[in-house]
Amino acid sequence: MKILSLDYEKYSLQNGLEVILYQDASLPIAVVNLWYNVGSSRDPQNKTGLAHLFEHMMFQGSKHVKKGEHFKFVQDSGGTLNASTSFDVTNYFEKIPSDYLETALWLESDRMGFFLEALTDETLANQIEVVKNERLERYDNQPYGLTWEKIFGLLYDEKHPYHAPTIGYMTHILSYNQKDVGEFFNTYYQPRNASIVVAGDFEAEEAKDLIEKYFGEINSTKEVSQLFSQDKELSASKNEIVYDAVSLEKILLVWKTEKIFHKNNFALDILSDILTGSKNGRLHNILVLRRELALQVSAFQFSGKYGGFFCVTATAKPGKSLDEIKKIILTELDNLFKHDITTEELTRSKNGIKANFIYGMQSLDSVANQLNHYNFYLGEPNSFSNELSLYEKVEKESVKKCEAYFDKPHVDLRFVPKDQEGKL
Amino acid sequence: MIIDRATPPQSKEQAVFHLPQIQQITLPSGLSGLFIEKAKLPMVQFMFVVSTGSAMDAVGKSGLANLTAILIDEGAGGLSALELNNQFEMLGSSIQISINHEFMYFTILSLEEKFSETLSLLGKIISQPHFEQNEFLREKSKVQAQLLNLKNEPDSIADRIFEEEVFGASSKLGHLNLGKEKDVESLSNDDVKNFYHSFIETGMAGFVCAGSLKVDELKNLIQKHLDNRQVGNNSDSPKLPIPGKKRRLYFVHKNNAQQTEIRIGNLSGRRRDTDFYAKTVMNTILGGQFNSRINFKLREKKGFTYGATSYFAYRKECGYFLLTTSVQSEHTFEALKDIFYELKQIKNVISTEELEAAKLSIIRKFPSNFETYYQLVSGLNTLYTYDLPASYFNDYPSNIKAITIGDALTAAGDNINEEEMVAVLVGDKTAFRNLVGEFGFDEIIEMNEEGERLISL
């Protein structure tokens, strides 16, 4: 499909920084999207959350940009900006009027090359407090807020890069010092460990000159070691109950599957659609509509560089049993694998996926981020059409073959209202 | 090459932005709407807007409009809920039905080649819903379960109490769309059908659309699939709120909560009032951006919070100002001091630098509001909802540019009202004892999680 085939240019600077340019002059805006090949998977075991804290520190100023000025320059230009940390990567982006492209490149290059000069105890102490608040607000003080911390903790052993939460444990958050931050920067924030996408309304030659001007002089100092991690299978199923400040009981059933872009992942995504992708999803139909046991049910496949899993989660209606809900989920999975998947189910899912690929091309920042995503995991930025074709090739049999994952041990995590503790 | 990094780069000449053309459409039946043709991708985003919402819920029947919105696509035009959903999905299209206090929105997204069939399904939903009893019972019990969940979400509790109290009991413009537990319990399927017949079937309606099709095609398709309903004129306006004359603090005690949710605000003017632009500039300085005064102080200087923001929200004929944040319990008192200081200070001092930065930021950001099809439809919906003139977007940059320091200070003085301020705190009350004297509240009222009063001190 022509819309999904982007005309782009990719090259590297001498210092190893990968550059991807994608021109789109439909609006006078530009996006700078920078991915560093470091995420919480690189956190030291006793310093979980360091990669995420570091992302915060990148907004605290660099040699030529004072604290607060990064935001100020972008906002005064009419731009927006943000950053995020995942297990695998940390990304930073600015979306600005196209005449401010140079400002965004100047800002990103200053913190890539001259971050340490502005690092102080004061800025670090401030951001430790901010991250502490982030953890309280988004996880500790939220109903079901510890869901993913628990799931990853149960699924992966302590040595696995996905064991600890990206935000980090509170005791670790409070323990970071300047040395931790400095070492992290020197190790991972180098041009050779990053890729930059510039997308939008710009002249290619001019953009290349600016990228060379601002990033070319930043040296890559040392090799970044590869992270090797072997994901082991669970030897036995694991169960845990969390007594939480919630009103409704919730269950999560999780099976280990495959790493990102594994050939079976496309069938697993379609499986999740067939189960809970809509009102007609099999599990939604039986649990929410026919039996009225659950308020909601959803299934999805997660996958990253070092592991993947398939999750089915349901929130029980008041007084309904999680055991019964689990039994139905397992029976329905078994039925699906043992009996037929209808052509309609498969077509419905594929039509939705295809339309979503097209809808996904609307905003420049998501296109730029996706170019970096494909480049990071596949080495080829323009993989939109290829990925869609992998979904289109999924057949009934390839979905049914996923059964093997569900025959293995799984994690069963439940959230139960606090006042039920001791009553079960 | 030696690079001068100490001097920030100068921007080039400002890039030219051409506003998309907004076309006004009126069909022979009288149904009218707004359209932007955008050919970039072969897709259409369409929103049918009915002028009715939860403010039309009768006394004792809160939650009725919301339940009607949930049920309206659970079977229609001879198709069961599942058949209807299946047809949307086979097309690769989606439908979302949402409701607020004054409007009900039917939003569809489809590929251009599937738009006619998608619109035909929407036509069935709007004009021939089934409202079966079994669907009613199921969806009602789901709303009841959602209400149970809400009691554990400190942020939702704070939002709910703020809106209910700032608009006051005499106006329904602030009540919770989901409804009160006991009201929802009493709702019947006949209530839903009556609400549909009274307010949706023949209610005032219009549409907004952005898509790759031509205006004439759009007209034809709307006439074919959507224009068989009578255009009503039941434009009953909900009762407007009466500002409370006291400075009030409402709080909900959560034992051992580590954070306090804070909401502070007051009633304010309409979206189409002339001081909208001055308010926008003023709020950008106060709390509308990351580097605004309040976030910079509470997050970046003090480390009390993950974020603090302020904004103006609107109903059709009124609005409110709100500052919202969540802070560590032990810093609640100090955070409140900082907040009240900044709310005062914005009425007294705005520097030329702050004003110019805010204005330029808003003006330069303007083109990026016209990127996605959803943004275009949202922009058109703003014109439609608030009766703004067709020239609104053309004049927007110059209206922002014209704001002076005096205008922004006046906007702060007129719209941030210390005497009628409503504050809501959800957290451990030991963190915010003794607030009467320090912050001059006339009343301090303890509430439960459902926003019902417990004790008045």
Note the pLDDT tens digit of each residue in B60-85.
999 999 999 999 999 999 999 999 99
* pLDDT (average), residues B41-48: 98
CB contact under 8 A, B89 and A351: yes
- Say what the pLDDT of residue B236 is: 65
Tell me the average pLDDT across B260-276.
96
Tell me: the pLDDT tens digits for A108-127?
Answer: 999 999 999 999 999 999 99
The answer for residues whose C-beta is within 8 angstroms of residue B285's C-beta and 6 or more apart is B292, B293, B346, B350, B354, B355, B358, B408
> Hey, what are A322's tokens?
């999680």
pLDDT value of position B232: 63
Contacts of A63 in chain B (CB under 8 A): 5
B 198-217 residues with CB < 8 A to A? none
Residues of chain B in contact with residue A287, where contact means CB-CB under 8 angstroms, are: none
What pLDDT, on a 0 to 100 scale, did the predictor assign at position A340? 83
What confidence tier does B414 reach under pLDDT thresholds 50, 70, 90?
A: very high
Cα nearest neighbour of A69 on chain B: B291
- The kind and range of the H/E element at B217 are helix B215-225
Which residues from B are below 8 Å from A106, CB to CB? 5, 8-9
**Residue A222: CB atoms within 10 Å:** 10
Query: CA-CA distances (angstroms) from residue A177 to A65, A169, B185?
Result: 22, 15, 55
Cβ contact A137–B326 (<8 Å): yes
Segment A239-244 mean pLDDT: 96
Average pLDDT of chain A is: 96
Q: Measured between CB atoms, does A239 come within 8 Å of chain B?
A: no
Query: How would DSSP label each residue in B288-316?
Result: ISTTSHHHIIIIIIT--EEEEEEEEEE-S
Tokens of A300: 């999805």
pTM of the predicted model as reported, rounded to 2 decimal places: 0.95
Q: A16 and chain B: CB distance < 8 Å anywhere?
A: no
- From residue A345, give the alpha-carbon distance in Å to each of A248, A287, A297, A353, B115: 31, 18, 18, 13, 22
pLDDT of residue B241: 86
**pLDDT bucket at B437, cuts 50 / 70 / 90:** confident
Strand partners, B443: B248
Report the pLDDT averaged over residues B112-117. 98
> Quick one: pLDDT at residue B227?
76
Question: Does residue A291 sit at the B interface (CB-CB below 8 Å)?
Answer: no
CA distance B147 to B145: 5
- Mapped onto helix, strand or coil, the DSSP state of residue A332 is helix
Residue B344 is predicted with a pLDDT of 97
Closest chain B residue to A101 measured between Cα atoms?
B11
Cα(B406)–Cα(B398) distance, integer angstroms: 17
Q: Which of residues 81-110 of A touch B (CB under 8 A)?
A: 95, 97-100, 102-103, 106, 110
CA distances from A155 to A152, A162, A409, B44 (A): 5, 9, 10, 42
Residue B185 at interface with chain A, using a CB cutoff of 8 Å: no
Instruction: Determine the pLDDT at residue B432.
Output: 84
Helix-helix angle B115-127:B81-91, to 10 degrees? 160
Segment A194-229, tens digit of pLDDT: 999 999 999 999 999 999 999 999 999 889 999 998
Ranges of beta strands (E only) in A275-336 are 294-304, 307-316
Q: For residue B15, what pLDDT is reported? A: 76
- Rounded average pLDDT over B422-447: 88
DSSP A136: I
B326/chain A closest Cα distance in angstroms: 7
* Interface contact flag, A317 B141, Cβ < 8 Å: yes
Q: Are B259 and A137 an interchain contact pair (Cβ–Cβ within 8 Å)?
A: yes
| Chain A partners within 8 Å of B142 (Cβ) | 288, 295, 317
For residue range B138-162, list pLDDT tens digits in order.
999 999 999 999 999 999 999 999 9
Second CATH level (architecture) for the domain B23-225? 2-Layer Sandwich (3.30)
- Please name the CATH architecture into which domain B248-456 falls: 2-Layer Sandwich (3.30)
Q: Which long-range contacts (CB under 8 A, 24 or more apart) does A397-404 make?
A: A398/A264, A398/A266, A398/A267, A399/A267, A399/A270, A399/A271, A399/A274, A399/A336, A399/A341, A399/A346, A400/A336, A400/A337, A400/A341, A401/A264, A401/A267, A402/A257, A402/A264, A402/A267, A402/A268, A402/A271, A402/A310, A402/A337, A403/A337
Kindly list the residues from chain A whose CB atom is less than 8 angstroms away from the CB atom of residue B305.
130, 133, 137
Residues with Cβ within 8 Å of residue B137, at least 6 apart in sequence: B189
Q: Decide: helix, strand or coil at residue A314.
A: strand
How far apart CA A205 and CA A23 sit, in angstroms, is 11
Q: Is the pLDDT of residue B296 over 60?
A: yes
What pLDDT sits at residue B242?
82
Determine the residue of chain A that is closest to B256 in CA distance.
A141
% of chain B with per-residue pLDDT over 90 = 87
Looking at chain A, which residue has its C-alpha nearest residue B7?
A64
Q: What is the pLDDT of residues B353-363, one digit of tens each?
A: 999 999 999 99
Average pLDDT rounded to a whole number, residues A63-75: 95
pLDDT at B230 over 70: no
Q: Hey, which residues 50-79 in chain B have their CB within 8 Å of chain A?
A: none
pLDDT of residue A408: 97
Number of residues that make up chain B: 457
Which of A5, A67, A73, A76 to mutate to probe the B interface, most B CBs <10 Å? Answer: A76
Q: Is it the case that residue A422 has pLDDT exceeding 90?
A: no
More confident residue, B231 or A281: A281
Residue B235 scores a pLDDT above 70: no
Q: How confident is the model at residue A34 (pLDDT cuts 50, 70, 90)?
A: very high
ipTM of the complex: 0.93
In order of their start, the domains of chain A are 7-215 (3.30.830.10), 238-420 (3.30.830.10)
Nearest-CA residue of chain B relative to A201? B15
Note whether A103 contacts B8, CB cutoff 8 Å.
Answer: yes
Structure token digits, residue B273:
């009032």
Q: Helix or strand or coil: residue B267? A: strand
Residues A239/A412, Cβ–Cβ less than 8 Å = yes
| Calpha distance A269→A225 (Å, rounded) | 32
Q: State CA B89 to chain mean position distance.
A: 28
Query: Are the beta carbons of B365 and A80 separated by less than 8 Å?
Result: yes
Q: How far is B86 from chain A (nearest CA, A)?
A: 7
Question: Per the structure block, which two tokens stand in for B287?
Answer: 């709390």
Residues of chain A with Cβ-Cβ distance to B107 below 8 Å are: none
Q: Is the dihedral of CA A187, A190, A194, A196 positive or negative?
A: positive
Residue B302 pLDDT level (bands cut at 50, 70, 90)? very high
Q: Region B419-439: what's the mean pLDDT? A: 87
- pLDDT tens digits, one per residue of A347-383: 999 999 999 999 999 999 999 999 999 999 999 999 9
Q: Tell me what the mean pLDDT of segment A291-304 comes to.
A: 97
B contact residues 136-155, partner A, Cβ 8 Å cutoff: 138, 141-142, 144-146, 148-149, 151-154
Tell me, yes or no, if B80 comes closer than 8 A to chain A by beta carbon: no
Sorted by where each begins, the domain ranges of chain B are 23-225, 248-456
pLDDT of residue A424: 53
Tens digit of each residue's pLDDT (9 = 90 or more) over A135-167:
999 999 899 999 999 999 999 999 999 999 999
Residue A132 has pLDDT above 90, yes or no: yes
Q: A133, B326: Cβ pair inside 8 Å? A: yes
Are the beta carbons of A364 and A32 closer than 8 angstroms? no
Record the tokens describing residue A339, joined without a space. 């009996």
Neighbour-count burial for A198-221, b at 16+ CB within 10 Å, e otherwise: bbbbbeeeebbebbebbbbbbebe
